[in-house]
Amino acid sequence: HFKLRNEISWNKTKLEHLGEWVDPSKNSPEANQLRGHTGYAKNLDIGTQLEFFPRSIRSFQSFGYRVAPFASLGVHYTYYTPEVTTTYANPNPDAIGDVTDPTNFYSA
């Protein structure tokens, strides 16, 4: 009734603003800030867990049940490295491309 599960996963996702707020017809400073703001989210997850299934584990593994409740206890570690860039044409030439300058980013 017990199963040991180990996991290693990695992903990299490109982040950019899409939709009505950055439509080409929008020409406000806020829309330009959103259009210029891009980035990446990279995550590495490593973990292990012990799962308990109260019924037959063989039937569980062969998808023999429509509903298969189980309990799990484990440890996971996630390492993340976000990246951000901006191409916003800030009126202040010293702030162009500076991701630490709040005037480059939209603030609601």
Among 65, 64, 49, 62, residue whose Cα is nearest residue 2: 49
Question: What is the pTM for the complete model shown?
Answer: 0.66
Digit-coded pLDDT (tens) for 23-39: 999 989 999 999 999 99
User: What pLDDT does residue 47 have?
Assistant: 98
Torsion sign, CA atoms 51, 52, 57, 63: negative
User: Has residue 62 got a pLDDT over 70?
Assistant: yes
Query: Who contacts 60 (Cβ-Cβ below 8 Å, separation ≥6)?
Result: 53, 68, 70
User: Has residue 79 got a pLDDT over 90?
Assistant: yes
Average the pLDDT over 12-27 and give the result.
93
